[in-house]
A and B are shown apart, each in its own frame.
Chain A
Amino acid sequence: MIPVDRHTLEVSSQDEPRGLSSAKLDRRDFMKVLGGGLLICFTPTLAWAQESGRAFGGQQLPKDVGAWLHIAADGQVTVFTGKVEVGQNIRTSLAQLVAEELRVPFDAITMTMGDTDLTPWDMGTFGSRTTPTMGPQLRTMAAAARQMLIDMAAQRLKVDAQGLTAADGRVTDPQSKRSIAYGELARGEKLVKVIAGEQALTQAADWKIAGTPVPKAEGRDFVTGKHKYPSDITRPEMLFGAVLRPDGFNATLASIDTSAAEKLPGVKVVRDGDFTGVVAPDAFVAQRAVAAIQSKWTVPEQPSNQGLFEYLKANPETGRDDGPQHVAGSVTEALAGADVKVEERYTIAYIAHAPLEPRASVAEWNGDKLTVWTGTQRPFGVRDELAQAFHLSANQVRVIQPDMGSGYGGKHTGEAAIEAARLAKAAGKPVKVVWTRSEEFTWAYFRPAGLIEIKAGARRDGTLVAWEHHNYNSGPAAINTPYNVANQLIQYHAAKSPLRQGSYRGLASTANHFARECHMDALAHAAGIDPLEFRLKNIADPRLQAVFQAAADKFGWSHLKSKPERGFGIAGGVDKGGYVATCAEVEIDAGGKHVRIRRVVQGWECGAIVNPDGLRNQISGAIVQGIGGALFERILFANGRILNPHFAQYRVPRFSDTPQIEVVLIDRKDLPSAGAGETGLVGLAPAVGNAIFAASGIRLRSMPLAPQSAAPGEPDPAFRS
Chain B
Amino acid sequence: MGDFVLNVNGSDVRVNASPEETLLSVLRNRLYLTGTKYGCGEGQCGACTVLLNGNATRSCLVAIGSAAKSKVVTVEGLEQNGNLSPVQQAFLDQGAFQCGYCTSGMVVQATSLLREKNDPSEEQIVQAMEGNICRCGTYPRIVEAVKLAARLQSKGASR
Contact = CB atoms under 8 A, between A and B. Distances in A.
A658 B125 CA distance: 13
Binding site of A, secondary structure by majority: helix, strand, loop or mixed? loop
Interface in B66-95: 74-76, 78-79, 84, 88-89, 91-92, 95
B74 to A, nearest CB: 7
Given A655-B126, A655-B139, A357 B101 contact: yes
A652 B100 contact: no
A220 interface: yes
8 smallest CB-CB distances across A and B, nearest first, come from A225-B35, A624-B137, A87-B99, A405-B101, A222-B100, A87-B98, A647-B44, A621-B137
Contact of B101 (A215, A229, A621, A654): A229
Interface residues of A, number: 57
Interface of A: 86-89, 215-216, 219-220, 222-229, 231-232, 234, 240, 282-285, 354-358, 403-406, 408, 434, 436-437, 613-614, 617-618, 620-625, 646-648, 652-656, 658, 661
A88 B98 contact: yes
B46 to A, nearest CB: 10
23 contacts: A220-B92, A223-B88, A223-B89, A223-B103, A224-B76, A224-B88, A225-B35, A225-B104, A226-B76, A232-B34, A282-B30, A284-B18, A355-B99, A355-B101, A356-B101, A358-B39, A403-B99, A405-B37, A406-B135, A647-B44, A655-B126, A656-B127, A658-B137
B99 A437 contact: no
A653 B25 contact: no
Interface in B13-58: 17-18, 20-22, 25, 28-30, 32-42, 44-45, 47
Contact of A647 (B45, B76, B139, B142): B45
A223 B91 contact: yes
Contacts of A231: 34, 37-38
Contacts, number: 173
Given A283-B29, A658-B139, A356 B102 contact: yes
A220 B142 CA distance: 15
B156 interface: no
B101 A437 contact: no
Given A223-B107, A356-B99, A646 B36 contact: no
A282 B41 contact: no
B151 interface: no
B54 to A, nearest CB: 19
B95 A222 contact: no
Contacts of A625: 135-137
Contacts of A219: 92, 95, 97
B150 interface: no
A617 B143 CA distance: 14
A355 B129 CA distance: 19
Contacts of B78: 224
B127 to A, nearest CB: 8
